[in-house]
Chain A
Amino acid sequence: MAVGKAVRRYEPWTGERTRMGTRLRFFISRGFIEALRSRWALFILFVTYGLLIVPRLFEALATSDPFDPQLYGPLLTDVHLFVLILAAVAGSSLFASDIQDRTIVLYRVRRMGAPYYLVGRLASLAAVLGAVSVAPIAILSSVAILSAAPSLSLVVDQGRIVLFALGLGCGVAVFFALFAGAISVLLRERRYAAPAIVFAVLFSEIASSILSALSTSSLASLVSVWGNFSLVGAYLFGTDLSAGPAPWQAAGALSAVALACAALMARELVYREDLP
């Protein structure tokens, strides 16, 4: 007996659409979760917390001054390398995959469009990087404050150190998200983008060392990404500043690079019309 093929009929959907904010939150959280599905990203997180953060937790438990800059400053310096590797692992495919697979057109023809897509992708990467640059500060400061139980006047007087540390951690995450995103857009291939992100930062360190050796000008050290973050950190935490560029110059150099990266991504993803 022949069996007839089931007749399929299109059924409309009846429901209320969510707001753009809800969609953007979903997009960011999905990007965050997907980035953490990478075993390399998880490995880096595991190593960062195992090597750097857990040992410092004991230090935080024993401290009598939860607002000691020495508790946060060195940690922010130490996580730089891990932030960089995580940016290479999670950020190299940030846009490259969508451009390579040509999935990007499916975002661009939706209401969210290219600007929301760009912001959403960058925010998800910044959130992933924040897991090694912001979350450790939050954990350490919470543990230190809870264990030391400082007076309210001390919190009001010195609490800004924690805010500075959190702000600097955010700055590191956002900077590296923009930097990795720009290289991902520029190279459009993950296998090239990942090493390029690492080499570009390492190159800035080497170039800074060479220029500093060759030149008498202290501005040569502004080429170094990590050097600039260290300068800004030293200024915020009130530690001694060695003879070198002013902190505002370091912040300016970082801001200029970040703005250039943002402009590049906007040009390639928002204003460029020959994308697939």
Chain B
Amino acid sequence: MSALLPTTLTVSSGAIGLLGPNGAGKSTLIRLVLGLLTPTSGTVGLLGAHPAPPTLLDRVGYMPEHDCLPGTVSAVSLVSFFGRLSGLSAGSALERTHDILDYVGMGEDRYRKIAEYSTGMKQKVKMAQALVHDPDIVFFDEPTNGLDPEGRREMLDLLCDVSQAGKSIVLSTHLLPDVEHVCSDVVIMGGGRVLLYDRLEAALGTRHTVVRIRGDALSFADSLRGRGLAATVHRGDIFVEGEDVSAQVFDTAYRTGVQLRYLSPHTMSLEDLFLRVVGDGGG
């Protein structure tokens, strides 16, 4: 059984939101890119290299979703340790550790054992270990999980700042507002395949007309498509691409004897886009 179906996806640098329902394949995709899984076929490239050599991992950071911190050491000790393992010398690892812990907002708590930390503090330490070696691309897997609204806002602001500092980030989440806040591009996955990859602005910018009818929405959408319109059905609503399609919709309804109940222009939210794409993709 394949967790990810054959797909070709080339993403550019920037802040990319990786969206999808549970089991869509988001974590599998990240694990493949990081080399934690071996693809059964095809190749996975990273930072322009196909396949990515292990040396490239010095330029990659990863903040896992799950708890992964030993409770017996302090944040300073842990982050500087992973800094050293990522190639920083003893002196610069300690200096960089304090810089990055300041950056993520860890105060004097950095000297306490991690077992005593709150969820928010643990998330900060996980972020610090992902950034300590100054990677070019960082994978964040559900970074706002378990955070209170203030902590979440702080985390999202940090992600924006990392992205603005010229780092590529991949944000895997099921929280759509997080992607809207941080990302310039969006990848939507469902059922183990990539359903959409586009600039967020462009994906949301497409104007639609929502049509509701009395009768079979699917066959009416087929009729619209027969006239060259891009029409999809989601939860009984027919979404027709474009704003000035009213005349064609009316005409189609007249010809097919369908009663129109609602017709209105519609600007899509990321939630609308997600539900539509995942619904169409069978996710």
List the interface of chain A (C-beta within 8 A of B).
8-13, 15, 17-18, 23, 26-27, 30, 97-98, 101-103, 105-113, 273, 275-276
Q: Return chain B residues, CB-CB under 8 Å to A273.
A: 36-38
Other A-B pairs, 20, CB within 8 Å; known A17-B86, A27-B85, A106-B129: A8-B105, A8-B161, A11-B99, A11-B103, A12-B166, A15-B92, A18-B87, A30-B81, A101-B68, A102-B64, A102-B66, A105-B68, A106-B62, A106-B64, A106-B82, A109-B36, A109-B57, A109-B60, A111-B86, A276-B64
* Known contacts A9-B165, A97-B70, A102-B67; A26/B85 CB under 8 A: yes
Interface centre among A101, A110, A273, A276 (most CB of B within 10 A): A110
Complex: chain B residue closest to A10, CB-CB: B165
Contact with A along B10-23 (1 / 0, CB 8 A): 00000000000000
Q: Interface majority SS on A: helix, strand, loop or mixed?
A: loop
Chain B's nearest CB lies how many Å from the CB of A248?
39
Judged by a CB distance under 8 angstroms, whether B133 is at the interface is yes
Tell me the residues in window 118-177 of chain B with beta carbons closer than 8 Å to chain A beta carbons: 129, 131, 133-134, 158, 161-162, 164-167
The tally of CB-CB contacts under 8 A between chains A and B is: 98
Complex: chain B residue closest to A109, CB-CB: B62
Contact with A along B60-96 (1 / 0, CB 8 A): 1010101111110000000001101111111010001
Q: Return chain A residues, CB-CB under 8 Å to B81.
A: 30
Q: Return chain B residues, CB-CB under 8 Å to A10.
A: 103, 131, 161-162, 164-165, 167
Complex: chain B residue closest to A104, CB-CB: B68
Which of B37, B57, B88 lies in contact with A113, CB distance below 8 A? B57
List the interface of chain B (C-beta within 8 A of A).
34-38, 54-55, 57-58, 60, 62, 64, 66-71, 81-82, 84-90, 92, 96, 99, 102-103, 105, 129, 131, 133-134, 158, 161-162, 164-167
* Known contacts A8-B102, A11-B99, A102-B68; A110/B161 CB under 8 A: no
* Known contacts A12-B134, A105-B36; A111/B67 CB under 8 A: no
Task: Determine if A26 and B92 form an interchain contact, defined as CB atoms under 8 angstroms apart.
Answer: no
Which of B60, B66, B105, B162 lies in contact with A276, CB distance below 8 A? B66
Interface centre among B34, B66, B68, B131 (most CB of A within 10 A): B68
Task: Determine if A18 and B88 form an interchain contact, defined as CB atoms under 8 angstroms apart.
Answer: yes
Task: Determine if B69 and A12 form an interchain contact, defined as CB atoms under 8 angstroms apart.
Answer: no
Task: Determine if A113 and B54 form an interchain contact, defined as CB atoms under 8 angstroms apart.
Answer: yes
* Known contacts A10-B161, A10-B162; A111/B70 CB under 8 A: no
* Known contacts A11-B103, A273-B36; A112/B85 CB under 8 A: yes
Q: Could you show 13 A-B contacts with beta carbons less than 8 Å apart?
A: A9-B165, A23-B87, A101-B67, A101-B71, A103-B70, A105-B62, A106-B129, A109-B57, A109-B60, A111-B87, A112-B85, A113-B57, A276-B68
Chain B's nearest CB lies how many Å from the CB of A29?
10
Tell me, in angstroms, the Cα distance from A103 to B79 when the chains sit together: 12
Q: Return chain A residues, CB-CB under 8 Å to B162.
A: 10
Task: Determine if A110 and B86 form an interchain contact, defined as CB atoms under 8 angstroms apart.
Answer: yes
